[in-house]
Amino acid sequence: MKLAIVGRPNVGKSTLFNRLAGRRIALVDDTPGLTRDRREAPGNLHGLELSLIDTAGFEEAQEGALEARMRAQTDAAIADADAALFLIDARAGVTPLDRSFAALLHRSGKPVILCANKAEGRAAQAGLIDAYSLGFGEPIAISAEHGEGMGDLADALRAIDRREGEPDEPAPAPSETAERVLNLAVVGRPNVGKSTLINTALGEERLITGPEAGITRDAIAVPFEFEGRKINLYDTAGMRRRARVHNKLEKLSVGDTLKAIKFADIVVLLMDAADAFEKQDLQIADLVEREGRGLVLAVNKWDLIDERKRALDALTSQAERLLPQLAGAPLVALSGLTGEGLARLMRAVINTYEVWQKRVPTAALNRWLEAAIERHPPPAAKGRRIKLRYMTQVKARPPTFVVFCQRADELPDDYVRYLVGGLRARFGFAGVPMRITLRQGDNPYAD
**pLDDT for the residue 210:** 52
Q: Do 189 and 320 belong to one domain?
A: yes
Could you give the number of structural domains in the chain? 3
**Same domain, yes or no, for 394 and 436?**
yes
Task: Determine the pLDDT at residue 179.
Answer: 67
Q: For position 177, what pLDDT does the model report?
A: 42
Q: CA of 447: how far to CAs of 95, 382, 408, 442, in Å?
A: 81, 22, 19, 11
pLDDT winner (highest mean) among 5-9, 176-180, 341-345: 341-345
Q: Which of 114, 13, 23, 142 is nearest to 73 (CA)?
A: 13
Boundary-marking domain end, from 133, 164, 195: 164
145 & 237 share domain: no
CB neighbourhood size of 150 (10 A)? 18
- Is residue 172 assigned to a domain? no
Is the pLDDT confidence value at 445 over 60? no
Instruction: Compute how many other C-beta atoms are within 10 angstroms of the C-beta atom of residue 198.
Output: 23
**Which CATH number is 50's domain given?**
3.40.50.300
Give the least confident one: 187-191, 226-230, 253-257, 365-369: 253-257
Average pLDDT over residues 220-231: 88
In this structure, the answer to whether residues 286 and 405 fall within a common structural domain is no
| 147 and 295 together in one domain | no
With a pLDDT cut of 90, the percent of the chain lying above it is 34
Evaluate if residue 175 carries a pLDDT over 50.
Answer: no
pLDDT score of 159: 84
| Between residues 246 and 155, the one the model is more confident about | 155
- Residue 202 is assigned to a structural domain of this protein: yes
Residues 143 and 285 in one domain: no
Residue 433: per-residue pLDDT: 93
Let me know whether 309 and 196 are in one domain.
yes
Asked whether residue 447 is assigned to any structural domain, the reply reads: no
Identify whether 67 is part of a domain.
yes
Complete edge-to-edge strand list for the sheet that includes strand 388-395:
388-395, 400-405, 435-440
pLDDT digits (tens, 9 = 90+) for 103-121: 888 888 889 999 988 888 7
What is the chain's length? 447
313, 334, 356 - which closes a domain: 356
Q: What pLDDT is recorded for position 155?
A: 84
Q: Most confidently modeled of 173-187, 236-250, 340-354, 398-412?
A: 340-354
Domain assignment present for residue 189? The answer is yes
- State the DSSP code for 249: H
Question: Quick one: 221 and 333 in the same domain?
Answer: yes
Model pTM score: 0.70
Q: What is the pLDDT of residues 280-331, one digit of tens each?
A: 999 999 999 999 999 999 999 999 998 999 999 999 999 999 999 999 999 9
Last residue of a domain, one of 356, 391, 414: 356
Confidence of residue 174 (pLDDT cuts 50, 70, 90): very low
Helix (H, G, I), strand (E, B) or coil at 174: coil
Q: Is the pLDDT of residue 171 over 50?
A: no
Q: Is residue 216 located within the same domain as residue 339?
A: yes
d(CA 365, CA 361): 6
Range of the domain at 343: 182-356
Q: Tell me the average pLDDT of the chain.
A: 83
Task: Assess if residue 446 is contained within a domain.
Answer: no
Neighbouring CB atoms inside 10 A of 287's CB total: 17
Same-domain check for residues 61 and 125 = yes
Q: How far is CA 297 from CA 271, 294, 322, 323, in A?
A: 8, 10, 12, 11
The confidence score (pLDDT) of residue 90 equals 87
Q: Are 218 and 169 in contact (CB under 8 A)?
A: no
Q: Is the pLDDT of residue 156 over 80?
A: yes
Q: Is 81 a residue whose pLDDT tops 70? A: yes
Asked if 46 and 151 touch (Cβ cutoff 8 Å), the reply is yes
Residue 82, domain member (yes or no): yes
% of the chain exceeding 70 in pLDDT: 82
**What's the gap between Cα 126 and its chain centre?**
41
- Do residues 257 and 236 lie in contact, with contact meaning Cβ atoms separated by under 8 Å? yes
Domain shared by 272 and 421, yes or no: no
Could you tell me the CATH number of the domain that includes residue 369? 3.30.300.20
Q: What is the pLDDT of residue 1?
A: 86
- In tens, the pLDDT along 195-217 reads 889 888 988 877 655 555 555 55
User: Is 370 part of a structural domain of the chain?
Assistant: yes
Considering the domain architecture, whether residues 417 and 344 belong to the same structural domain is answered as: no
pLDDT band at 167 (very low <50, low <70, confident <90, very high): very low
377-406 pLDDT, tens digit each: 998 877 788 889 889 999 898 999 999 988
| Each residue's pLDDT tens digit, 230-284 | 999 988 877 866 655 556 555 666 777 888 888 889 999 999 999 999 999 999 9
